[in-house]
Chain A
Amino acid sequence: MNEEQLWLDQARKGDKDAFGQLIDAYQIPVYNLAYRMLNNSGEAEEAAQEAFIRAYTRLESYNPDHKFSTWLLSITSNYCIDLLRKRRAIFLSIDEPLGAHPALRSDKIKEPEAQVTLNEQQEMVQSLLEDLPDEYRQAVVLRYWYELSYEEIADSMETTVSAIKSRLFRARKLLAEIGVKKGLISALEQVMA
């Protein structure tokens, strides 16, 4: 039995410390997914915590034949999709700017060049992702940051592999269009150079 399975078994029996180990192990992927989806650090933290709480209370329904990470990311992305729908319904007419991740708010002048470049890169990513439809963004994030296969993405989004291929196809096309429209492609080439 590997370490993760041991933590899962103990967590099922109510051992919070064991579940804490799982949170430690997966906090970055879960938070990153929530942030990429929601583009707001406060909401991302809240969503990531909620995803872990949901996972903890539903541990009985976890099927050990699948990867725990895929199951956890599926809970996170579905929760984020729900939040985005609610957000759209509530804040339809409010143009309040969303809170950026602290890493993107730092003072660029005082930082080393590499950090500035990284911040620019993160801003570009968020700028591209924010204009994608929710389902496309979900597929893109799962594909690029977690390198999930089409099958795994389809599994976590409860849809078919062909639907995921089609979403990624359109998402890439849209991202390229958004990149050109926002002038990000030339800026990107400078950053990457």
Chain B
Amino acid sequence: MEQEHDYAYALMMDALDGELTEGSKLELELHLQMCSDCLREWHALVAIETLLRTTPALAPAAGFTQRTLARLPNRRYRIWALTAIYLVLLLCGFVPMALGAWAMTRLLPILNQPALINGITHSLTKFMQVIGAVLMALFNGLGEVVVQQPAALGWFLVIMGVISVWGGLLRELLSQPQRA
């Protein structure tokens, strides 16, 4: 019975939209003759449909156009402002590029000299050699300390172990559920 009502209701919606076929119209009419609940619902729907379709639109108070126009932003200024911002952004990109190109044309003949390139390469190589020597000295020194003073390494390992144990213990304690 519930399904019949739902079906009838769907037919009513189609009827309100003017999309009911002749066959469906007959079906709906037959159902409405037999079902007083659906008939009441149909009358309510038709009454509201008629009300909504016949109620005219409301107009704003006189002078609405002038009041709205007075609030409109100036579109021409907006267009100019946007154009100006666009140009500034364009120049922000263009100016550094132009400066870079100019600098390259000025510097390229100097940079192209073989003596300069060789000098830079030599300096970089020397710098890397110095860094390598410093790192090697540090490793060697550390190795010697470990060999000559094994107790220092032992103490270091003990301290690290204690820290690790206490850290684990603390985590366990913090993860315990709180008692109410």
Chain A interface residues toward B at CB < 8 A = 11, 13-14, 16, 19-20, 23-24, 27-29, 31-32, 35-36, 44-45, 48-49, 52-53, 56-57, 101-103, 118, 121-122, 124-125, 128, 140, 144-145, 168-169, 172-173, 175-176, 179-180, 185, 188-189, 192
Distance of B44 from chain A, by nearest CB (Å): 4
Q: A101-B58, A189-B47, A192-B51 in contact; A49/B65 too (CB < 8 A)?
A: no
Contact B64 A125 (CB under 8 A): no
Q: Which stretch of B72-80, B125-133, B140-148, B170-178 is in the interface?
A: B72-80
How many residues belonging to B are interface residues under a CB distance threshold of 8 Å? 35
Contact B52 A140 (CB under 8 A): yes
Chain B interface residues toward A at CB < 8 A = 9, 13, 16, 41, 43-45, 47-61, 64-65, 67-69, 71-76, 78-79
Find chain A residues with CB under 8 A from B49 CB.
172
- DSSP class of A's interface residues: helix, strand, loop or mixed? helix
What are 22 A-B pairs at a CB distance below 8 A?
A14-B79, A16-B69, A19-B69, A27-B60, A28-B60, A32-B59, A49-B67, A49-B71, A56-B72, A56-B75, A103-B58, A121-B54, A121-B55, A128-B51, A172-B13, A175-B48, A176-B41, A179-B44, A180-B44, A185-B43, A185-B44, A188-B47
Q: A14-B76, A16-B69 in contact; A125/B51 too (CB < 8 A)?
A: yes
Distance of B73 from chain A, by nearest CB (Å): 6
Contact B58 A31 (CB under 8 A): yes
Q: How far is the CA of A140 from the CA of B9 in the complex (A)?
A: 18
Cβ-neighbour of B68 out of A35, A49, A57 (below 8 A): A49
Find chain A residues with CB under 8 A from B51 CB.
121, 124-125, 128, 188, 192
Least CB separation from B53: chain A residue: A144
Contact A27 B64 (CB under 8 A): yes
Find chain A residues with CB under 8 A from B78 CB.
14, 57
